[in-house]
Amino acid sequence: MSVRQSLLAILDQGACYGYQLRAEFDRRTGSTWPLNVGQIYNTLDRLERDGLVEKGDVDEQGHVYWQITDAGTAEVQDWLGSPVERSSGTRDELAIKLAVAATLPGIDVSGIIQTQRRSSLAQLQELNRAKYAGVNPDGPEELAWSLVVDSMIFQAEAQVRWLDHTEQRLALHPEHAMALQLSTERPKRGRPARAEASASPVEPAR
């Protein structure tokens, strides 16, 4: 929901048209989360449907200015004043990939981890280079951008630490002890079995 709420927060500073709203979002995030104009207008349509924004003036170039409603301002205040809730489950592709790979017989999980570690370290180096490439570290746009990059750096560092931890844990278990064969127990739920072809068809009523 951060895109939706971020656009609302920007509109709370003043009316904007679509391209202008995208540019303002880029300024505040260092273009680290690029949005296309279609996504902007789709979000605006949903916000209008929910009564949080409304169409305002149209300038000489035909730009439609969107403005926030009182309900939209209240939602911005709620968003800024509330913590971000982390999901209790995980959809992290890397975690799922390694969990599945660790249970497959004959898979070199250590090799998968090493490949991922090289990629993660390369990404970390790129992020660190980008962080120190700014020409005006005290400017508001540079500061906003660096906050996002710092978050990405911490996530990359945490991923490398998790890979090290995972490799150490897996080293304690022989490969044959981790492998899971397909279960012979059939799930009790699922699509009902089709009737056997030998079953007699029901005769139509006469």
pLDDT tens by residue, 15-59? 999 999 999 998 888 777 788 889 999 999 999 999 999 999 999
Cβ atoms of residues 102 and 109 within 8 Å: yes
Query: What DSSP letter does each residue of 67-130 carry, written as one string?
Result: EE-HHHHHHHHHHHHSPPPPPSS---HHHHHHHHHHTSTT--HHHHHHHHHHHHHHHHHHHHHH
Q: Residues, the chain, total?
A: 206
Token pair belonging to 114: 């090493």
Q: What is the pLDDT of residue 133?
A: 66
Q: Is residue 204 part of a domain?
A: no
The Cα 76–Cα 38 span in angstroms is 22
In DSSP terms, 68 is beta-bridged to: 53
Dist. CA 11–CA 72, nearest whole Å? 9
Residue 186 lies in a domain: no
* pLDDT at position 85: 78
Judgement on whether residues 97 and 73 belong to the same structural domain of the protein: no
CA distance 37 to 101: 39
Residue 193 lies in a domain: no
118 with 161, same domain: the answer is yes
Q: Is 46 domain-assigned?
A: yes
The predicted pLDDT at position 146 comes to 83
Q: Does residue 206 sit within a domain? A: no
Q: Are residues 100 and 67 in the same domain?
A: no
Of 47, 81, 115, the position where a domain reaches its end is 81
Same domain, 15 and 67: yes
Domain limit, last residue, from 81, 110, 127: 81
Name the residue range of residue 159's domain. Answer: 93-178
68 and 100 part of one domain? no
How far apart are the C-alpha atoms of 37 and 61, rounded to whole Å? 17
- Out of 22, 57, 81, a domain closes at 81
User: In terms of domains, do 121 and 149 share one?
Assistant: yes
Structure tokens, 84: 């971000």
Query: With contact defined as beta carbons under 8 Å apart, do 85 and 43 qualify?
Result: no
User: Same domain, yes or no, for 57 and 32?
Assistant: yes
Domain count, the chain: 2
Residue whose token pair is 């990404």: 123
Looking at the fold, whether 36 and 101 belong to one and the same domain comes out as: no
- Residues 62, 64, 65, 69, Cα dihedral to 10°: 160
pLDDT of residue 47: 97
The reported pLDDT for the residue numbered 112 is: 93
Work out the angle at residue 142's Cα, subtended by the Cα atoms of residues 4 and 36, and round it to the nearest 5 degrees: 35
The CB-side HSE value for 70 (13 A sphere, CA atoms) comes to 0
Residues 40, 63 share a domain: yes
Q: Which residues of the chain, if any, have pLDDT below 50?
A: 196-198, 205-206
Beta-carbon count within 10 A of 163 CB: 19
Residue 9 lies in a domain: yes
What's the pLDDT at 206? 46
Pair 11, 78: CB distance under 8 Å:
no
Assess whether 167 and 113 both reside in one domain: yes
Identify whether residues 56 and 103 lie together within a single domain: no
Does a structural domain hold residue 88?
no
Q: Is residue 194 part of a domain?
A: no
Residue 66 and residue 131 share a domain: no
CATH number at residue 19: 1.10.10.10
